[in-house]
């Protein structure tokens, strides 16, 4: 887990602020849940591997001696959302559109863009089975990334029921579906032969495994330039495969609706149906999505429909679909590509007020107060050191200008402003100082 020094906090805040603003433009409202959940809320929701990665909190007081845990740190933002929806059902609108940008914790091995404390930026819509939901989620996530400056991302799209149809068509038995998907998910990493081996080791009939791989190879071939023609091409091939499969056919028409409607949004041209997309979490029931860029092995985010999860808390299903952007991965790519505004790097203050002498500190404080009332960010040097030392400090801190109240300036009711970049210094009326400082700041950050 990491500390974030000021420059890094500014970068993180810039990304979170941008994403939140876009999410709000799509009509999502903010929700926050506590870092700590009852341990039963989390256990059994993320698979066996997930259970192992949950940080568990020891009982307090005398009960600590038992060595037992009753609480746990939030593992994702989806399960707490499902709990909230079950708990506050009557207070929430029919279509609950919430965003949530908060940290989650996993006792995982750290890797590039992967940490034990990390932030998820989630949007979810509860209460509707309409494909407008999937479309708006793809659009919101795409718009957020585009607003941050990303130009080269792809939204991969698939459907859990379509995957089920393909597995059925290949002759994979239902109980082996989950394992087959885990194996197929590795096609990029371990190749066709590797997957074939893993399918066998997972107890899947060798000929069913072969048919499955042939199907996937066939469906993934013939990549097209544009998303629209690629999607049409894949839908045609898939239709032939799942023709007799009810759930698969319905899934295919849902995907068709999504790729058709999404062309009317800011995600136009970005969404591509990818038959090999599986997504790890077991709670997905319908469409699944993932966003990728060429220079990151993992995804920038992902999501999907999970119509049964709220039912685990409420005893009654509520349709739900969501998308999560990973803050740290976005920041890793933005940092490597130099996508952050330069100004974020150094903006401790707009101006630093010096202390001329120990006897005139009140003058400096009054000046600082005036400049702050004018809306400026004002640092005050805390010690009556030699003025040269104070100015050097401002320079080292990257503050664009320094305000000085020498004996002459005070007598004339003026203030000296030194532009740290040009070294130029002028004396100006106190009332004109805020404008002068603004001008220097604009010039400093323009170049």
Q: Between residue 214 and residue 273, which ones bind its own copies under the rule CB under 8 A? A: 260-261, 263-266
Nearer to its own copies, 116 or 211 (CB): 116
Does residue number 58 form part of the binding site for its own copies (CB under 8 A)?
A: yes
Give residues 126-155 in contact with its own copies (rule: CB under 8 A). Answer: 128, 130, 132-133, 135-136, 139, 143
Residue 291's nearest CA partner among 162, 181, 189, 140 is 140
Per CB under 8 A, contacts with its own copies among 362-391 are 362-363, 365-366, 368-369, 372, 375-383
Three-class DSSP category at 245: coil
Q: By C-beta, is 182 or 374 nearer to its own copies?
A: 374
Q: Give the closest residue to 79 by CA, choosing from 419, 336, 313, 374.
A: 313
Considering the rule CB under 8 A, would residue 357 count as an interface residue with its own copies? no
Interacting positions 68-107 with its own copies (CB under 8 A):
68-69, 71, 73, 80, 84, 87-88, 91-95, 97-98, 103, 105, 107
Taking the complex as a whole, the smallest distance from the CB of residue 16 to its own copies amounts, in Å, to 11
Nearer to its own copies, 9 or 244 (CB): 9
Closest distance of CB 88 from its own copies, Å: 7
Strand arrangement, sheet containing 117-126 = 29-30, 96-105, 117-126, 320-326, 301-305, 287-292, 154-159, 271-273
Judged by CB under 8 A, which stretch of 65-73, 205-213, 245-253, 330-338 contacts its own copies? Answer: 65-73
Tokens for 367, please give them: 């000046």
**3-state secondary structure (DSSP) of residue 173:** coil
Q: Which residues contact 78 (CB under 8 A, 6 or more apart)?
A: 122, 124, 283, 306, 309, 322, 324
DSSP H or E segment with residue 102: strand 96-105
> Binding residue for its own copies (CB under 8 A) from 67, 90, 294, 338?
67
Name the pairing type of β-strands 69-73 and 56-58.
antiparallel
Site for its own copies in 158-217 (CB under 8 A): none
Least distance (Å) from its own copies to the CB of residue 432? 19
Q: Which is nearer to its own copies, 73 or 167 (CB)?
A: 73
Grouping H, G, I as helix, E, B as strand and the rest as coil, residue 312 is helix
């Amino acid at each position: 887990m990491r500390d974030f020094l000021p420059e890094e906090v500014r970068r993180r805040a810039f990304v979170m602020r941008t994403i939140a603003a876009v999410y709000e433009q799509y009509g999502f409202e903010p929700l926050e849940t506590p870092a700590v959940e009852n341990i039963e809320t989390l256990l059994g929701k993320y698979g066996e591997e997930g259970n192992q990665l949950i940080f568990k909190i020891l009982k307090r007081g005398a009960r600590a001696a038992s060595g037992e845990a009753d609480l746990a740190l939030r593992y994702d933002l989806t399960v707490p959302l499902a709990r909230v929806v079950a708990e506050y059902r009557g207070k929430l609108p029919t279509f609950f559109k919430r965003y949530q940008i908060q940290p989650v914790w996993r006792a995982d091995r750290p890797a590039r863009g992967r940490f034990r404390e990390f932030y998820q930026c989630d949007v979810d819509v509860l209460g509707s089975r309409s494909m407008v939901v999937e479309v708006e989620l793809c659009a919101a996530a795409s718009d957020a990334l585009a607003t941050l400056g990303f130009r080269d991302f792809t939204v991969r799209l698939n459907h859990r029921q379509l995957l089920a149809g393909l597995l059925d068509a290949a002759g994979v038995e239902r109980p082996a579906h989950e394992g087959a998907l885990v194996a197929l998910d590795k096609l990029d990493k371990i190749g066709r032969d590797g997957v074939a081996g893993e399918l066998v080791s997972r107890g899947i009939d060798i000929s069913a495994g072969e048919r499955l791989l042939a199907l996937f190879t066939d469906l993934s071939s013939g990549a097209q330039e544009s998303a629209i023609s690629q999607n049409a091409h894949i839908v045609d091939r898939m239709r032939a495969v799942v023709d007799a499969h009810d759930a698969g056919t319905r899934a295919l028409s849902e995907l068709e609706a999504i790729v058709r409607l999404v062309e009317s949004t800011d995600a136009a041209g970005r969404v591509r149906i990818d038959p090999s997309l599986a997504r790890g979490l077991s709670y997905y029931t319908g469409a699944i999505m993932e966003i990728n860029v060429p220079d990151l092995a993992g995804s920038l985010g992902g999501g999907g429909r999970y119509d049964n999860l709220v039912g685990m808390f409420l005893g009654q299903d509520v349709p739900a679909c969501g998308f999560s952007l990973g803050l740290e991965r976005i920041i890793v790519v933005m940092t490597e590509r130099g996508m952050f505004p330069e100004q974020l790097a150094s903006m401790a203050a707009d101006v630093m007020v010096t202390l001329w002498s120990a006897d005139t500190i009140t003058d400096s404080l009054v000046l600082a107060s005036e400049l702050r009332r004018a809306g400026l960010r004002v640092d005050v040097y805390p010690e009556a050191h030699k003025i040269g030392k104070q100015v050097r400090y401002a320079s080292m801190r990257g503050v664009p200008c320094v305000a000085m109240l020498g004996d002459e300036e005070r007598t004339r009711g003026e203030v000296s402003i030194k532009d740290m970049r040009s070294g130029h210094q002028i004396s100006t009326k106190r009332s004109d100082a805020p404008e002068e400082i603004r001008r220097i700041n604009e010039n400093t950050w323009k170049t």
